[in-house]
Amino acid sequence: MKRSPTERWCSLAFSLVELLVTVSIIAILAALCLPWAKSSIAQARSIKCMSNLAQIGKAIELYAGDNNQMLPAAYISGDSTSIPWMWKLIPYLGMATNSMGYAPLPRAAGVFVCPEFKPSENRAVSYVINGNMNPLLETYWNYRKLIAPASQTFMVVEFNKNTEHFNTYSDKDVARRHPHKSANYLFIDGHVENLSEYIAPRQDPRWFNPGQQ
pLDDT digits (tens, 9 = 90+) for 169-211: 666 778 888 888 899 999 988 899 999 888 877 778 788 764 4
Query: Of all residues in the chain, what percent carry a pLDDT higher than 90?
Result: 12
pLDDT at residue 103 tops 90: no
pLDDT of residue 3: 52
Side-chain-facing half-sphere of 64: CA atoms under 13 Å = 17
Closest CA to 105 of 117, 123, 93: 123
Q: How far apart are CA 141 and CA 153, in angstroms?
A: 12
The pLDDT mean for the chain works out to 73
pTM of the full structure: 0.74
pLDDT-derived band at 53, boundaries 50, 70, 90: very high
Using DSSP's 3-state secondary structure scheme, residue 186 falls into strand
pLDDT of residue 49: 92
pLDDT at residue 23 tops 80: no
Please state the domain extents for the chain.
41-212
Instruction: Give the angle subtended at the CA of 102 by the CAs of 99 and 104, to the nearest 5°.
Output: 130
pLDDT at residue 81 tops 80: no
Q: Helix, strand, coil proportions of the chain in percent (round to 5)?
A: 40, 10, 50
Q: Where are the beta strands (DSSP E) in 46-172?
A: 127-130, 154-158, 165-166
Q: What is the mean pLDDT of residues 86-101?
A: 83
